[in-house]
Amino acid sequence: MATGLRAYDDIRPEKLLVDLIEAWKDKDISLLIDNKAGEENKQVYKNLVSIGKWCANGLAQNRPEMILVFQTLNDL
């Protein structure tokens, strides 16, 4: 949702969106934000990308409980 990109894309070097996001670990995450979203909600979109990375962690024990995700989203 935050990036406007497909979850899977045959054309990208990183076929899965989660892999693309992970590859951007040290880069400016704001470059992945959907440009159609507008400028006024940039911080919300950065937070959505961060939450998405958290939820898609490769290690299940490092993923948050959904109640925590819900509370985090409500706090945005």
d(CA 39, CA 57): 28
Is pLDDT of 8 > 90?
A: yes
**49: region left, alpha or beta (phi > 0 left; psi from -120 to 50 alpha):** alpha
Q: CB of 23 within 8 A of CB of 32?
A: no
**What is the pLDDT at residue 75?**
92
**What is the pLDDT at residue 76?**
85
Is pLDDT of 11 > 90?
A: yes
Query: How do residues 26-61 score in pLDDT, each as one tens digit?
Result: 677 777 777 777 777 778 888 888 898 888 888 999
Cβ count within 10 A of residue 6: 12
pTM of the model: 0.69
- Overall domain count for the chain: 1
Query: How do residues 13-24 score in pLDDT, each as one tens digit?
Result: 999 988 888 887
Q: Which domain holds residue 62?
A: 17-75
| 56 in any annotated domain | yes
**What is the pLDDT at residue 25?**
72
| 5 in any annotated domain | no
